[in-house]
């Protein structure tokens, strides 16, 4: 038997252990999502050690379910319990990553994507067999969680860190320019920009009616009169208006036709305009993604959402991990010959491409 063919017992045992960890971690992700949605983490943050009855009472929830959840979280080393197994607590070292009190680092929010993706498993299995895709309307709560996600990952740094990546844009926004956000979803980023820069005019385009309703309601509640949201399928968008600044937050790779959308964006920019594209920071080559901190999550989200929603529109199905290399090539093909990549410390998931037509 050749050396390479020898069975490595330690390798097999290590792998079996890893598989157990995967099952436990997957289970904890579901429990974390529930803890976030029903507010258990937030309640426990303010309580100190407490019994399941006290925690259930403070949360307005059923004690039997709360107790089972507490035990799952405790053996998962997310919560702690006393020696008598009576009083549970969320350690302060953990609460910053699990509660709404921390507007930038709440990981429990992201755990919601696991059950959201699980909802469409049967449909995805159908696609494995027959091709095709799963459309946006089959995902309950996707837009809601996406809005919560961008509320945390984009809003917290939009004005301070993200917009300043585009040289001179703050001054222009303050003076008054025309701005478009493509794939705006629930409009969190655009509404914040419209509120911050009242002299500028803002337009948001998205395919889906549901998030646009949320975006309009939010704009109305904020009393904004410098913003409109329109239902537009960007695959067929034609340049009718010119903009000084166009943004896309996590909204190019999952388009049906990212190539056409980028051409539309290029064609819709005024001569000295800029396009800011926030998109996934990964490589098109899986070998380069082996140490990506979110690698398995992002390929999974791709299979179960980003790639399939594109294929459902007869699109290219580039997927979440299209890679910065492909993004660069496609931006260039669209006409952007001046593209600068930026990374921000708080955001391990995205690259910020600042794109212009000039060289």
Ligand X SMILES: C[S@@+](CC[C@H](N)C(=O)[O-])C[C@H]1O[C@@H](n2cnc3c(N)ncnc32)[C@H](O)[C@@H]1O
- Residues interacting with ligand X, by CB under 6 A? 136, 146-147, 150, 154, 183-185, 205-208, 211, 232-235, 249-251, 254-256, 313
Between residues 56 and 234, which has the closer beta carbon with respect to ligand X?
A: 234
Between residues 52 and 235, which has the closer beta carbon with respect to ligand X?
A: 235
Please, are residues 248 and 258 in contact by the beta-carbon 8 Å criterion? Answer: no
Q: How far is the CB of 38 from ligand X (least distance, A)?
A: 23
Between residues 59 and 247, which has the closer beta carbon with respect to ligand X?
A: 247
Q: In what order do the strands lie in the sheet with 350-356?
A: 227-231, 201-206, 178-182, 243-249, 269-280, 350-356, 338-342
Between residues 98 and 184, which has the closer beta carbon with respect to ligand X?
A: 184
Q: How far is the CB of 254 from ligand X (least distance, A)?
A: 5
Query: Residue 240 is encoded by which pair of tokens?
Result: 């009718």
Q: Give dist(CA 126, CA 315) in Å, integer.
A: 18
CB atoms within 10 A of CB 231: 12
Q: How far is the CB of 224 from ligand X (least distance, A)?
A: 17
Alpha carbon 35 to its chain centroid, in Å, reads 19
Q: How far is the CB of 189 from ligand X (least distance, A)?
A: 6
Please, are residues 261 and 235 in contact by the beta-carbon 8 Å criterion? Answer: yes
Between residues 125 and 209, which has the closer beta carbon with respect to ligand X?
A: 209
- Ramachandran angles phi, psi of 343, nearest 5°: -125, 145
Q: How far is the CB of 108 from ligand X (least distance, A)?
A: 18
How many helices and strands (H and E) does the chain possess? 16, 9
């Amino acid at each position: 038997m050749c050396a390479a063919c020898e069975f490595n017992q330690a390798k097999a045992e290590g792998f079996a252990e890893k598989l157990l960890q995967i099952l436990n971690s997957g289970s904890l992700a579901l429990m974390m999502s529930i803890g976030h949605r029903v507010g258990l983490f937030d309640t426990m943050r303010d309580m100190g050690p407490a019994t399941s009855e006290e925690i259930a009472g403070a949360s307005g929830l059923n004690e039997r379910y709360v107790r089972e959840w507490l035990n799952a979280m405790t053996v998962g080393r997310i919560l702690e319990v006393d020696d008598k197994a009576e009083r549970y607590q969320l350690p302060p070292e953990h609460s910053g990553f699990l509660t709404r009190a921390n507007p930038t680092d709440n990981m429990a929010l992201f755990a919601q994507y696991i059950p959201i993706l699980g909802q469409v498993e049967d449909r995805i299995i159908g696609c494995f067999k027959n091709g095709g895709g799963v459309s946006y309307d089959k995902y309950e709560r996707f837009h809601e969680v996406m809005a919560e996600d961008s509320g945390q990952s984009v809003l917290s740094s939009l004005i301070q860190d993200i917009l300043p990546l585009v040289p001179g844009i703050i001054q222009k926004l303050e003076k008054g320019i025309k701005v478009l956000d493509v794939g705006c979803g629930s409009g969190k980023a655009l509404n914040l920009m419209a509120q911050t820069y009242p002299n500028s005019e803002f337009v948001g385009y998205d395919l889906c009616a549901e998030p646009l309703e949320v975006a309009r309601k939010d704009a109305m509640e904020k009393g904004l009169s410098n913003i409109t949201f329109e239902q537009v399928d960007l695959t067929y968008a034609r340049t009718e208006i010119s903009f000084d600044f166009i943004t896309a937050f996590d909204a190019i790779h999952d388009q049906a036709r990212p190539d056409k959308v980028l051409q539309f964006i290029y064609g819709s920019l005024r001569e000295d305009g800029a396009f800011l594209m926030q998109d996934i920071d990964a490589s098109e080559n899986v070998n380069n993604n082996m140490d990506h901190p979110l690698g398995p999550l992002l390929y999974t989200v791709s299979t179960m959402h980003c790639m399939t929603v594109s294929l459902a529109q007869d699109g290219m199905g580039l997927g979440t991990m299209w890679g910065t290399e492909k993004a660069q090539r496609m931006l260039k093909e669209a006409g952007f010959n001046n593209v600068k990549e930026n990374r921000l410390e708080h955001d391990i998931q995205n690259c910020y491409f600042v794109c212009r037509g000039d060289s």
